[in-house]
Structure 1
Amino acid sequence: MEGAQWDTLLPFFVAGFVSFAVFYLSNILWLRPEKIRNKLRSQGIKGPSPSLLYGNILDMRRIVKEEKETQKGGSRHVSASYTSALFPYFITWRKEYGPIFMYSTGSIQLLHVSHPDIVKEISLCKSLDLGRPSYIQKERGALFGRGIIASNGAVWAHQRKIIAPEFFMDKVKHMVDLIVEATIPFLESWESLLESEGGTREIVVDEDLRSFSADVISRASFGSSYAKGEEIFFRLRQLQKAMSKSSILIGIPGLRGKYNERKEVEGPSLFLSSSFFPTERGEGGSAVGGPRPATFPGRRPVWWCRRCHARRWPAGTREEKAEQGIGFSINPAASRLHSQGNRGQKRWRRRRRCLPCLRRGPPDRIDGESSDPSRGKLTMVIRETLRLYPPAALLVREAFQDMKLGGIYIPKGITLSVLISVLHHDPEFWEPDADEFNPERFAHGISSACKSAHAYIPFGIGIRTCAGQNFAMLELKIVLSLLLSKFSFSPSPKYIHSPAFRLTVEPEFGVPLIVKKL
């Protein structure tokens, strides 16, 4: 009798489960996103029509394919900005819907913003209800862990409170000797390489500069060296490339990257190697004859004991320290600066006008505002390069609560997306020569270079501005000045201008340059 009752009730249980599953999926894929889109449509904000499962991903792929075919046919001029090559759908939609429009990738709803007034409102917002999108932790957790790049709320506020002071200018200035110490073997390796080739050789500079930047970060943050963590940085690089291949699939349930769960390539746990973390007396640094400042982006800075000449590690697990350190290691700003750009002869001639003043050695002022005007050209060149080719392509923020920005009601769950290169190349704010390499535009600082200071955001904006930008600028100034004091550079005929998006923007085939010893 009981079996007969079960046979009678089973179809009802199955039907109920199926109904619940259908409702749950429809709510995630359509009802909830459509509710958000309706709130934006009521304010006059439009955008391309999304499909049920993929959102606008199929349209994005189609537009990218069409753009590649157009470029192959040679019927369109290659822009100085990488936007047309990497994100042509933003250009297409911006022309059709204006500077503010909505689109979606799977179940994730995004509001594209390319107007400095709205960007200014984002920068002025200090609420923790506006933070990094939650999908970054879900989709990029294997790479970023629980570090400051992916965290939000009180956790992020605590991490920022600890990390930011370690990169204030007064502390960064004390890292000059450390960076120079890392630069010397780098220069010597190039000198020995060129001597064996008669003084001139083609070098793929971005790979070497990426290794150099990792070495500087290892010394400054971990008190170690790139040589001890070479395998770690190599695997992180492989993980970064693997994740970038499936980046467009973000937001589609069940289609996360196969590397997300740290199976084939490990993330933060790689830093737990005892050979990389110095624990014994005198290990992991240069000479152990005196105090050496070593900053670690974790709970507290590492300090050097004057009495026993040994580094003391602060409280907290090594995994927590590693997750913080990864954010400072996967995006070496020095390699990105040298890695971008159109290698046209005209642009190189304009750059070389600034070189004689740089061959005198490292800048005497870290902030770039020297009493000697010629020394300020180094800062101008760096700023202009970061304007033309910002390594970070997108600035994204998610609204965790309903809020209002720039007169626009932002519903909870919407992700704000700012394409940095569009702001950096907008003639409305940068004059008609916005696509030209012109460092002189920064002769009187950023505020006078463009009509809106919020149209220049290579290091982000607001309370989440990159904490390590002072360190990155210092590293750039030192390595550039020392390289230009030893070598001259000219474009290689093998260079192919093909920007690629690998979580940051970089040259797809590297940057080969003809390097000559002076």
Structure 2
Amino acid sequence: MVTSSVMSLLGAQAAALPWKQLLACAVVAWCAVRALEWAWWRPRRLGRALRAQGLSGTVYRSLEGDAPLMDRLNREARSRPLPLGCHDVVPRAMPLYHQTMKEHGKTSITWFGPVPRVTITKPELVREVLSNKFGHFAKVKFGSLQRRLHNGLGSHEGEKWAKHRRIINPAFHLEKLKRMLPAFAACCAELVQRWEGLVRDGEPCELDVGPEMQNLTGDVISRAAFGSSYLEGRRIFQLQGEQVGLVVQAMNRIHIPGYLLLPTRNNRRMKQIASEIEVLLKGIIAKREKALRAGNASGDDLLGLLLESNIEHCRGDGNPKAGITTDDVIGECKLFYFAGMETTSALLTWTMIVLSMHPEWQDRARAEVLHVFGNRTPDYDGMSRLKIVTMVLYEVLRLYTPLSTLLRRTYKPMELGGVRYPAGVVLMLPLLCVHHDKDVWGPDASEFRPERFAQGVSRASKDAPAFFPFGWGPRTCVGQNFALLEAKMGITMILQRFAFELSPAYTHAPFPVGLLLPEHGAQVMLRRLP
């Protein structure tokens, strides 16, 4: 009776409410239910499904996920630099995942906001996820934040990715890359000439090679991407470098709904940079397209090759819509900068640091370079014979992998390694951890031993291949050969003219700021060879 009376009273009150208020109440109730589903019910449901299959890890307690724990562990890790010569970088560079895997096993759960992340470290499973033969794993996208940095091939899926890959591939064919070697050599020559001006009277000179390598690879990508417009490209590279830092800061907060819409100083600056880069790129592209139509453009740079390939692709299909738009070209140019400049800069920086720590390998690499080239400018045929230099670069990529993790999302239930993952789980592939795994690389996994690559990548590890600095499968980085050629040219011309050792000011502190970099600089003592 009481219940009936209450229901009747509520019904009468509801009937008395205007329909607009009823609609507003319904909308509020719907939003509340959706919010609870997103922030509480769904995470707990996914967590139970994973734990029921034997997985363990951190516990989901709040909307922040593991962000507070990650911040605390990062602060603790950053307060302790590594001893010189120590290459066991995972505990410092990835403390949350290192601790979680140590406590809960290599396949363990962490939380990025309300989204569970499961670490996948077995090389055969990493290869399966990255091969993605049946399209079961989607890239994790960060929406407008990712577009601020780039919106190129690496962020596309499905048919759009396939179309972009078909159009871009010809620009990175080996024969086309050989035509860019003069641009590589010119930039490296400017670098070593400037260094020779700093090192006088045989006295060593202290130099932070991190910014130097950024300037070098920025010049290389500017010349190689834009040819005669490379001075305009320099401004883009400066802006892109600033944008990387802002994006890294924002990525730690994007689990907060609407964060990127807030008018914070960083958000406003990211928007300004994106607009300025777009204006500069549109100007360069418009001039190049005009020259192409007039038959006056050179196809020796990436932009020219991309535009030519796009035109040929449209002609071949007989459909002008078969190509990519100007906005697509802008997205690819941004990606050229991010992937072509930042990753190669990190590789060259770590190579100089590691060769300073291991002078015996510096001497061996220099002896090989002088044997092949003497003091001549390196050419492609000679660089293809640099076995020791190649082994050194591979080992540096393994120990100091620039991009330490890759992320993939299950968009439908999927079985992997005996575990059935529900839709909405993020699989985290901690490449840096895989490259330091003693079960894969042996008990010396955290030691610098370039000779492990003496017989190539396929025989370097127990579970081969387990070397993923450029990804794996159909989405392997299209610029892999470009980056390795650039790095070989740079380190070869430096070894020809200089010897180097660590400065007393150097602190060994690897930490990921977007890419894995030396946190406090890369100071070396540079000495000119007689």
TM-score range relative to shorter protein: 0.7 to 0.9
User: Do the aligned residues in 2 keep the contact of 1:489 with 1:513 (CA within 8 Å)?
Assistant: yes
Task: Specify whether residues 208 and 264 from structure 1 end up closer, same or farther in structure 2 by C-alpha distance, changes over 3 A only.
Answer: same
Partner of 2:348: 338
Deviation string 1:255-298 (CA, Å, 9 cap, x unpaired) is 33855574342265154263687549999xxxx99965223375
1:324 pairs with one of 319, 332, 341: 332
The reply on whether 1:143 has 2:145 as its aligned counterpart is no
1:6 is displaced (CA, Å) by 7.6
Residue range with higher mean Cα deviation, 99-108 or 248-257: 248-257
1:153 pairs with one of 154, 158, 175: 158
The reply on whether 1:396 has 2:402 as its aligned counterpart is no
Partner of 1:445: 456
The reply on whether 1:498 has 2:505 as its aligned counterpart is no
- What code does the residue aligned with 1:127 have? F
The reply on whether 1:41 has 2:51 as its aligned counterpart is yes
Q: Provide the rounded CA distance (Å) in 2 between the counterparts of 1:274 and 1:11.
A: 53
Q: Provide the rounded CA distance (Å) in 2 between the counterparts of 1:449 and 1:357.
A: 21
For 1:466-485, list aligned pairs within 5 A: 466-485=477-496
The reply on whether 1:164 has 2:172 as its aligned counterpart is no
1:30 pairs with one of 23, 40, 47: 40
SS in 1 for 2:57: coil
Partner of 1:87: 94
The reply on whether 1:114 has 2:129 as its aligned counterpart is no
User: Do the aligned residues in 1 keep the contact of 2:85 with 2:357 (CA within 8 Å)?
Assistant: no
Per the normalisation by structure 2, the TM-score is 0.83
1:239 is displaced (CA, Å) by 1.0
Q: Provide the rounded CA distance (Å) in 2 between the counterparts of 1:183 and 1:301.
A: 28
1:272 pairs with one of 256, 269, 281: 281
SS in 1 for 2:237: helix
Task: Specify whether residues 357 and 157 from structure 1 end up closer, same or farther in structure 2 by C-alpha distance, changes over 3 A only.
Answer: same
Q: Provide the rounded CA distance (Å) in 2 between the counterparts of 1:469 and 1:245.
A: 27
- What code does the residue aligned with 1:248 have? N
User: Do the aligned residues in 1 keep the contact of 2:38 with 2:114 (CA within 8 Å)?
Assistant: yes
Deviation string 1:324-366 (CA, Å, 9 cap, x unpaired) is 0111212423321232376696523343332211234366656
The reply on whether 1:189 has 2:166 as its aligned counterpart is no
Task: Specify whether residues 367 and 457 from structure 1 end up closer, same or farther in structure 2 by C-alpha distance, changes over 3 A only.
Answer: farther
Task: Specify whether residues 160 and 128 from structure 1 end up closer, same or farther in structure 2 by C-alpha distance, changes over 3 A only.
Answer: farther
Give 1 or 2 for the bigger CA radius of gyration. Answer: 2
- What code does the residue aligned with 1:381 have? V
User: Do the aligned residues in 2 keep the contact of 1:130 with 1:399 (CA within 8 Å)?
Assistant: yes
1:48 is displaced (CA, Å) by 0.8
Q: Provide the rounded CA distance (Å) in 2 between the counterparts of 1:102 and 1:392.
A: 21
SS in 2 for 1:495: coil
Partner of 1:431: 442
Per the normalisation by structure 1, the TM-score is 0.85
1:104 pairs with one of 100, 111, 126: 111
Q: Provide the rounded CA distance (Å) in 1 between the counterparts of 2:53 and 2:331.
A: 41
SS in 2 for 1:417: strand
Task: Specify whether residues 235 and 289 from structure 1 end up closer, same or farther in structure 2 by C-alpha distance, changes over 3 A only.
Answer: closer
List alignment gaps of at least 5 residues for structure 2: 1-13, 312-321
Residue range with higher mean Cα deviation, 122-131 or 444-453: 122-131
Q: Provide the rounded CA distance (Å) in 1 between the counterparts of 2:473 and 2:400.
A: 21
User: Do the aligned residues in 1 keep the contact of 2:223 with 2:301 (CA within 8 Å)?
Assistant: yes
User: Do the aligned residues in 1 keep the contact of 2:452 with 2:460 (CA within 8 Å)?
Assistant: yes
1:379 is displaced (CA, Å) by 0.5
Residue range with higher mean Cα deviation, 415-424 or 164-173: 164-173
1:100 is displaced (CA, Å) by 0.7
Q: Provide the rounded CA distance (Å) in 1 between the counterparts of 2:465 and 2:24.
A: 56
User: Do the aligned residues in 1 keep the contact of 2:138 with 2:410 (CA within 8 Å)?
Assistant: yes
The reply on whether 1:218 has 2:222 as its aligned counterpart is yes
- What code does the residue aligned with 1:20 have? W
- What code does the residue aligned with 1:227 have? L
- What code does the residue aligned with 1:212 have? L
1:205 is displaced (CA, Å) by 1.6
Q: How many residues align?
A: 492
1:223 is displaced (CA, Å) by 2.3
1:204 pairs with one of 197, 205, 208: 208
1:302 is displaced (CA, Å) by 8.2
Partner of 2:73: 63
Q: CA RMSD in A?
A: 3.3
Residue range with higher mean Cα deviation, 48-57 or 12-21: 12-21
Deviation string 1:392-449 (CA, Å, 9 cap, x unpaired) is 1101112233333333323222221111111111112212221111111111111111
Task: Specify whether residues 281 and 269 from structure 1 end up closer, same or farther in structure 2 by C-alpha distance, changes over 3 A only.
Answer: closer
1:384 is displaced (CA, Å) by 0.6
Q: Provide the rounded CA distance (Å) in 2 between the counterparts of 1:400 and 1:50.
A: 21
Task: Specify whether residues 269 and 280 from structure 1 end up closer, same or farther in structure 2 by C-alpha distance, changes over 3 A only.
Answer: closer
SS in 1 for 2:231: coil
- What code does the residue aligned with 1:105 have? F
Task: Specify whether residues 276 and 227 from structure 1 end up closer, same or farther in structure 2 by C-alpha distance, changes over 3 A only.
Answer: farther
Partner of 2:3: none
Deviation string 1:284-331 (CA, Å, 9 cap, x unpaired) is xxxx9996522337564489xxxxxxxxxx975543222101112124
Q: Provide the rounded CA distance (Å) in 1 between the counterparts of 2:85 and 2:367.
A: 31
- What code does the residue aligned with 2:388 have? K
Task: Specify whether residues 220 and 365 from structure 1 end up closer, same or farther in structure 2 by C-alpha distance, changes over 3 A only.
Answer: closer
1:7 is displaced (CA, Å) by 5.8
- What code does the residue aligned with 2:260 have? R
1:10 is displaced (CA, Å) by 6.2
Q: Provide the rounded CA distance (Å) in 1 between the counterparts of 2:485 and 2:19.
A: 72
Deviation string 1:92-139 (CA, Å, 9 cap, x unpaired) is 1101211111222113332211122311221332233423213x2343
Partner of 2:318: none
User: Do the aligned residues in 1 keep the contact of 2:148 with 2:271 (CA within 8 Å)?
Assistant: no
- What code does the residue aligned with 1:334 have? T
Q: Which structure dedicates a bigger proportion of its chain to helix?
A: 2
SS in 2 for 1:354: helix
User: Do the aligned residues in 1 keep the contact of 2:399 with 2:432 (CA within 8 Å)?
Assistant: yes
Q: Provide the rounded CA distance (Å) in 2 between the counterparts of 1:187 and 1:278.
A: 32
Partner of 2:251: 247
2:499 pairs with one of 488, 492, 500: 488
Q: Provide the rounded CA distance (Å) in 1 between the counterparts of 2:25 and 2:37.
A: 18
SS in 1 for 2:207: strand
1:179 is displaced (CA, Å) by 1.7
Task: Name the structure, 1 or 2, with higher relative contact order (CA <8 Å, separation 6+).
Answer: 2
Deviation string 1:164-203 (CA, Å, 9 cap, x unpaired) is 23223343233323322332223322223335x7664222
SS in 1 for 2:444: coil
List alignment gaps of at least 5 residues for structure 1: 304-313
